[in-house]
Amino acid sequence: MIAPERRTRADVVAAVAITVLVIVATFAIWWRSDYRQAQSSPAERPIEAVAGALATPTSVRELWRAPNEASTVPITSGGTVVSTHAGEVTGHDVATGDPRWRYERQRELCAVTGQEHQVVAVYRTPRGCTQVTALESATGVRGEQRTSDADASVMLSSDGPHVMSQGPQRLEVWRSDLVRTLEFGRVAAPVNPDRQQRAGCDILDAHLTRSRVAAILQCPDESGERLVLLDSTPERNNEPEEHGSTLLTTQDSALGEIPGAHGTSLAAVSAQLTAIFVPGDADEIAVYGQEGTAIHRWALTDVPTAPGISDDAPIGFSPERMSTGTVSAPMDMAYWFTGTDVVSLSGRDFRPLWRVPASGLPATMAGQLLIPTPAGISVHNARTGALERTIALDRNGDNVTGLAVLGDFILEQRNGDAGTVVVLGQRTSARPRGTS
């Protein structure tokens, strides 16, 4: 009979040493982890949603302001106004500006967006804008998180239940639970490289709708820029499904329409149509169907100013400030900001109808169109563009990059990337308040 093995003193010492090492290693990992370094202070009670405005104000004053550095537009979700500073995301009561919840990490914010009833924040790591956190907008409670391959800088946008993260060489689309539905472009270590046919292309512009993504690419060995229309929820998230693709064309004064457009950007996107700004000898809006087939080309040289607007200066274009419009109901219009003008486009064929010189992106309120101008905020008929009145506003030299509306309040994003969100309303307080 074989004698049973016996533990020696050395065995016990070794087992204890291994256990201690595991505990120390686990503690070290936890100590240096992003989870430990994140500071979450949820709201004691949820921020309530606000009812839509019944009318636009005749005069406004500043109620409060807060830093908003991770976005060029005001960020709202539900009834919450979101501010951003360094690695901190804060949810405010829109009426008072009181900070109701905070979430902070010891990392730089890449971008933040509001999406239905949550806020999505992306943080920068040495590998790019890779770490994503979802926060419940009413309470700030931390929800789903994900880590994705990403470029060094990204832009976030949302449409309904989805969020898109777009970088110069790569984009992703996520559901509200941050599960990825689409991976497009550069892949760090492709297992099946044939799945990404556009992996070598630069992504110049992209826009998300509920069912698809419209993207403008510059691909190697092509004479100009290309429009690609993608399914936002393909069968396999790492195998993009293209509805259509076309090489964009431009107008040459001697040769007419030729391939090789450069400097294009998305002007407006709907479920059926994509409108693209095409600079050239004659600046145009080129409209494409669901499969990338060219449908219309509209000249931009003679777009009239809206009724009541006396500024007859030519329409201007500032590519770094342009924004993509979407068709809004019930007006059946898209509003495209060219960087210097707001241009209305018919929702049926994206034909340019009228324009208004502007300082930043517009917003709609109680069925009217609000447009920021140097003198304040001009109020227009949303269909005809007719000027109804101007809400005078002294911004003390601040620039406005965009408006948003939440209930009876108007929000302005001022001075761009390192900017401030300013909340305006008819509150009868003695003086404005600042929050940090």
In a domain, 14, yes or no: no
Examine the pLDDT at 311 and tell me if it is beyond 50: yes
Of the given ranges (164-178, 284-298, 317-331), which has the lowest mean pLDDT?
317-331
User: Is 7 within the bounds of a domain?
Assistant: no
The pLDDT value given to residue 23:
57
Is 191 within a domain?
yes
Burial 109-148 (b: 16+ CB within 10 A, else e): bbbbbbbeebbbbbbbeeebbbbbbbbbbbbbbeebebeb
Looking at residues 269-293, what average pLDDT do you find? 94
pLDDT of residue 436: 46
**What is the per-residue pLDDT across 185-214, written as a single tens digit (0 to 9) for each?**
998 766 666 788 898 999 999 999 988 999
Helices (H), 363-415: none
CATH code for position 251: 2.130.10.10
Question: Does 9 map to a domain?
Answer: no
- Rounded to an integer, the average pLDDT of 100-110 is 97
pLDDT, averaged across the chain: 90
Query: Percentage of residues in the chain with pLDDT exceeding 70?
Result: 88
Q: What is the pLDDT of residue 83?
A: 98
Token duo for residue 287: 């409209």
Write the pLDDT tens digit of every residue in 339-394: 999 999 999 999 999 999 999 999 999 999 999 999 999 999 999 999 999 999 99
Instruction: Classify residue 5: in a domain, yes or no.
Output: no
In angstroms, the CA 289 to CA 77 distance is 32
For residue 155 the two structure tokens come to 């832009």
Parallel, antiparallel or unpaired: strands 265-269 and 325-326: parallel
pLDDT beyond 80 at 5: no
Looking at residue 196, its pLDDT comes to 87
Look up the domain containing 163 and give its range: 36-426
pLDDT at 28: 44
User: What is the pLDDT, as a whole number, of residue 29?
Assistant: 47
Q: 7 pLDDT band (50/70/90 cuts)? A: low
pLDDT of residue 435: 54
The model carries a pTM of 0.88
Q: Distance between CA atoms of 190 and 226, rounded to whole angstroms? A: 23
Structural domain contains residue 23: no
Task: Name the domain count of the chain.
Answer: 1
Residue range 107-145, pLDDT digits in tens: 999 999 999 899 999 999 999 999 999 999 999 999 999
Residue 53 lies in a domain: yes
**What is the per-residue pLDDT for 401?**
94
In a domain, residue 333? The reply is yes
* Closest by CA position to 277, among listed 348, 329, 352: 352
pLDDT tens for residues 29-65? 444 555 556 899 999 999 999 999 999 999 999 999 9
